[in-house]
Amino acid sequence: MPVRLLVEAAHKLGLTLYLVGGPVRDWLLERKVADIDLLIAGGSEETPELLARKVAELAESGASDFQVLYPDEMPLWDKVQTIAQKIYGADDINAERILTERFKQLQAQGYGHLPICVAKTQYSFSNDPNLKGAPSGHVVPVREVRLSAGAGFVVVVCGEIMTMPGLPRVPSAHAIHLNKDGVIEGLF
């Protein structure tokens, strides 16, 4: 994740950002980023302990400015739009009419309170894997909407991306065995 977006996202969500060592530290020091509480430590032996102490101190303080990106009661379409705009730097999202109807259907069926999981290319904040880094001003196309009711979220597939298939109730490995002649059986 580009450092600029990491810092901006943390700031928007009211998160405390802790960065330790390396080029990220150097980049932030050069730019004198001061509007977010940062623990910047060198790559010494004390670094892990310093970070652990700071995290423990924060956890024990009970202080938190954390804010969710969107409220549960926000409509599903608006949740996706919020993610695209506030996290991915997009101007908007779009989808074919059948998908906008699917959003409305899920909302009407009582799934509107569920959080959104976005599946998209990992190579860019846009849906275009060739558009590297953190572009802004793009439109994120919604290609598919999947309800994962058991898991408690809605998956929104954006752009061209392959997702992993679900696993069967009984793994195929249960049918694989060696017969009496030592030949493997049960393979596809």
**Same-domain status, 82 and 154:** yes
Helices (H), the chain: 3-12, 22-31, 47-61, 76-86, 97-106
pLDDT of residue 20: 56
Sole residue written with tokens 């400015």: 65
Residue 185 located in a structural domain: no
Q: Give me the mean pLDDT over the 117-141 stretch.
A: 82
Residue 117 has a pLDDT of 95
**Residue 28 sits in the same domain as residue 82:** no
Tokens representing 67 are: 């804010």
Angle at 25 between CA 86 and CA 29, to 5 degrees: 90
Q: What is the CA radius of gyration of the chain?
A: 22
Higher-confidence residue: 39 or 64? 64
> What pLDDT was estimated at residue 130?
80
Say whether both 80 and 45 belong to one domain.
no
23-63 tens-digit pLDDT: 656 666 666 554 444 554 445 555 567 667 776 777 787 77
Per-residue confidence at 144, pLDDT binned at 50, 70, 90?
very high
Percent of all residues in the chain with a pLDDT value above 70, rounded to a whole number: 68
What does the DSSP assignment read for 119-152? E--SSBSSS-TTS-B---S-EEEEEEEEEETTTT
Residue 141 has pLDDT above 80, yes or no: yes
Quick: pLDDT tens for 86-102.
888 899 999 999 999 99
Higher pLDDT, 15 or 91: 91
Mean pLDDT of the chain: 79
Q: Residue 128 corresponds to which tokens in the numbers above?
A: 């275009």
Range of the structural domain that residue 116 is part of = 76-158
Based on the fold, state whether residues 106 and 135 are members of the same structural domain. yes
CB atoms near residue 116 (< 10 Å): 20
Provide the β-strand partners of residue 178. 184
Q: Are residues 84 and 154 in the same domain?
A: yes
